[in-house]
Chain A
Amino acid sequence: MSLIPDIISWFCLVTGGMFVVIGAIGLLRFPDFFTRLHAASVIETMGSILIVVGLVFQAGLTLVSVKLVLLVIFIMFTSPTAAHALAKSALHGKLEPITVEDNES
């Protein structure tokens, strides 16, 4: 493995891992359902995509990297849909989002 793809790969992997940690902290610390859903979306968009792109650079031009690119495409389709369905059903179930007035009082 040459140096330049290795550097790009590890940069993507470490940045993706940082996004996952940030999302996990947000998932635990945020006050209500919708903000926690926002933090979880950070994990499943930026975190997973950056980690898989880093793995594509590790794999090089092989069949494995083609499968990983397909995986990224399907994650980009399905995870926003799942977040949308969760938020929509929460609103449908009369769950009120927390507002600034709630925070101050």
Chain B
Amino acid sequence: MEHHIVLRVIAKFVIPMILLFALYVQFHGDYGPGGGFQAGVIFAVGFILHALIFGIDHTREVLHLQTLRISAALGLMLYLGTGIAGILMGGNFLDYSVLSADPVSGQLLGIFLIELGVGITVASVMLTLFYIFARP
């Protein structure tokens, strides 16, 4: 892949934009199309494009497999923690209304944390699958 200079230059320009668009889809998901799953997949696509163009070994140096395992567990723990926080604050499991004094702002906070957990987990699991199926 050393001679593909056009692809390398365009990828260096495009990959940060893909990651930025993933964050836009994540945090604009309350008001428009989008959400945690889509944002996680788009975020993973940025790294998969990096792996296709610069080689899987470079991507492994940028983002280790161990980091991905930790962040996948972290996203799931964020999801579960939001649910259990609802129980501890006097509601049902995944009851967002009790998370804040005002039910509406509590629901905003709850869906924000849930979608963040989904996004982190989906991005990590997608990249873990790609790493495992790619050349070791």
Contact = CB atoms under 8 A, between A and B. Distances in A.
A74 B7 contact: no
Interface in A63-105: 74, 77-78, 81, 84-85, 88
5 contacts: A74-B14, A74-B17, A77-B14, A78-B14, A81-B6
B132 interface: no
B4 interface: yes
Contacts of B4: 85, 88
A77 B7 contact: no
B130 to A, nearest CB: 20
B133 interface: no
B10 A81 contact: yes
Interface residues of A, number: 7
Question: Which secondary structure dominates chain A's binding surface?
Answer: helix
Interface in B1-43: 4, 6-7, 10, 13-14, 17
Nearest to A73: B17
Contacts of A78: 10, 14
A53 to B, nearest CB: 21
Contacts of B10: 77-78, 81
A75 to B, nearest CB: 12
Contacts of B13: 77
Contacts of B14: 74, 77-78
Contacts of A84: 6-7
B77 to A, nearest CB: 35
A35 B111 CA distance: 50
A91 to B, nearest CB: 12
B17 A81 contact: no
Given A78-B14, A84-B6, A85-B6, 4 more contacts: A77-B14, A78-B10, A81-B6, A81-B7
Contacts of A81: 6-7, 10
A74 B2 CA distance: 24
A97 B82 CA distance: 60
Nearest to B11: A81
Contacts of A77: 10, 13-14
